Amino acid sequence: MRRIPFILLLAFVLIMPGQAKKPKTTELSDRDYWCSLAYKMAQPVLENMAKGELQKNMKTEFSPSFDNRDRSVVYMETFGRLMTGIAPWLTLPDDETPEGIQRKQLRIWALAAYKNAVDPESPDYLCWGKSGQNLVDAAFLAESFLRAWETLWLPLDDVTKQRYIKEFQALRKIDPPYSNWLLFSSTIESLLAKAGAQFDEYRVNMACRKVEEWYVGDGWYADGPSFAFDYYSSYVFHPMYLETLQAMVDAKRSSRIEYQKYHERALKRAQKYAIILERFISPDGTFPVFGRSIVYRLSAMQPLALMAWYQTLPKELNNGQVRAALTKVLHRMFDAQENFNDAGYLTIGFCGSQPDVADWYTNNGSLYMTSMVFMPLGLPANHPFWTDATQPWTQVKAWGGQPFPKDHKWSDDIQTKDKW
């Protein structure tokens, strides 16, 4: 019979009676958890693209029903959509915290990646003008600049800025479908207006007029002349309409449309829609899965995240409940499921790898729209969104037998007409 070494026996005696102590694990704060996930999503994209190696190293995936367009669109989709989500976070000042060090590194990589994206000599020059799809993801790039103007646009060198302006203007040859795509054109043109470049006022105003025609009430927009029950009010309508209008206000442009008044009305609609989104989140952190493009994952919650970052949450919602609800969804979606491939890039799916739920236009670059939930990271760590006590959200109260606020139809109280 083998003898037990003395040191092991001593350790056994010191621990007894009682069970061996489990090693302590440090539970991340909500903000630390959000930051860790945002960094995990962004690092492989930006580190590679900063070196001009994204197209060389990215492990790509395409829908089983993907159409015959140029597959190099995947890189433009990846970069543009990722940046719209993390741009607000990168606007925070540098500090020496672990978060601050990672955030600074992402910003350095991002600025280098922006330069490579429009440099014809770079291996990561994007596929500008090769596909109608480029209009979509150029709009997301423009949106990222609008969300972090002083941090991501102004620091670019003059050559890079002029290259972006030229590429944006050249996309006017693309005729957008009669749908949410009108806002892709308006977002790009409003960015040009804010940059002081030549822009097409008609593309801005036509999009605004059509969005107004397609508003169906209670915070919802139809995606074109007929209503479709999907999340495109989240993916495109609320954020890009607000940002188009705000950019035109910032550019101090005067036209028949009174942009400031339109913006105030659109903001109220977005607040109503945010109330609906918060009520979609179940006590266990799930939300309804319906409509096309569902693989955009948490971009479905984009207007709720946007209202939090704008600090314009409606009075029916407080910081503690919104943070708690969104954090619960993040844990539910990302903690146990296979949302990343072995190279660190997102996989096609809603909650895990589910390629069969993808649409014919989907690649794994499309999925980086899920980063849009991270916009509240643009609020500093000492902001009430992060420091307020956790509060139960509406469905927790409702299903827990607690009092909860009733919901009623909301109607516009701001009316507009052309100025001349």
What is the end-to-end Cα distance of the chain in Å, rounded? 100
pLDDT value at 88 more than 70? yes
Tell me the percentage of the chain whose pLDDT exceeds 70.
94
Helix/strand/coil for 59? coil
Helix (H) or strand (E) run with residue 75 in it: helix 73-90
- Give per-residue burial for 363-378: e unless 16+ CB within 10 Å, then b: bbbbbbbbbbbbbbbb
- List residues bridging with 346 in a β-sheet: 340
Mean pLDDT to the nearest integer, 183-205: 98
Q: Please provide the DSSP assignment of 99-125 as one string.
A: HHHHHHHHHHHHHHHHHHHT-TTSTT-
Mean pLDDT to the nearest integer, 28-35: 96
Task: Give the C-alpha separation, 370 to 329, whole Å.
Answer: 12
* Residue 7 pLDDT class (50, 70, 90 cuts): very low
Helix/strand/coil for 62? strand
Cis peptide bond upstream of 17, omega within 30 = yes
pLDDT value at 390 more than 70? yes
The pLDDT of residue 3 is: 45
How many CB atoms lie under 10 A from the CB of residue 90? 22
Local structure of residue 342 (DSSP, 8 states):
T
**Contact residues for 274 (Cβ-Cβ < 8 A; gap 6+):** 219, 303, 304, 306, 307, 313, 314, 317
* Residue 17 pLDDT class (50, 70, 90 cuts): very low
**Contact residues for 175 (Cβ-Cβ < 8 A; gap 6+):** none
* Residue 14 pLDDT class (50, 70, 90 cuts): very low
The pLDDT of residue 69 is: 87
* Mean predicted lDDT score pLDDT of the chain: 94
* Residue 68 pLDDT class (50, 70, 90 cuts): confident
Helix/strand/coil for 281? coil
Helix/strand/coil for 146? helix
Q: Which fold has domain 28-399?
A: Glycosyltransferase (1.50.10)
Task: Give the C-alpha separation, 239 to 314, whole Å.
Answer: 16
The pLDDT of residue 15 is: 37
Structure tokens at 187: 């977002």
pTM: 0.93
Mean pLDDT to the nearest integer, 173-183: 97
* Residue 224 pLDDT class (50, 70, 90 cuts): very high
- List residues bridging with 217 in a β-sheet: 220
Mean pLDDT to the nearest integer, 222-248: 97
Task: Give the C-alpha separation, 416 to 397, whole Å.
Answer: 38
* Residue 46 pLDDT class (50, 70, 90 cuts): very high
pLDDT digits (tens, 9 = 90+) for 275-300: 999 999 999 999 999 999 999 999 99
Determine the distance from the C-alpha atom of residue 85 to the mean position of all C-alpha atoms in its chain, rounded to a whole number.
3
Contact 79, 126 (CB under 8 A): yes
pLDDT value at 4 more than 50? no
- Give per-residue burial for 316-347: e unless 16+ CB within 10 Å, then b: bbbbbbbbbbbbbbbebbbeeeebbbeebbbb
Q: Return the domain boundaries, the chain.
A: 28-399
pLDDT digits (tens, 9 = 90+) for 299-341: 999 999 999 999 999 999 999 999 999 999 999 999 988 999 9
Among 214, 216, 219, 215, smallest CA distance to 275 is for 219
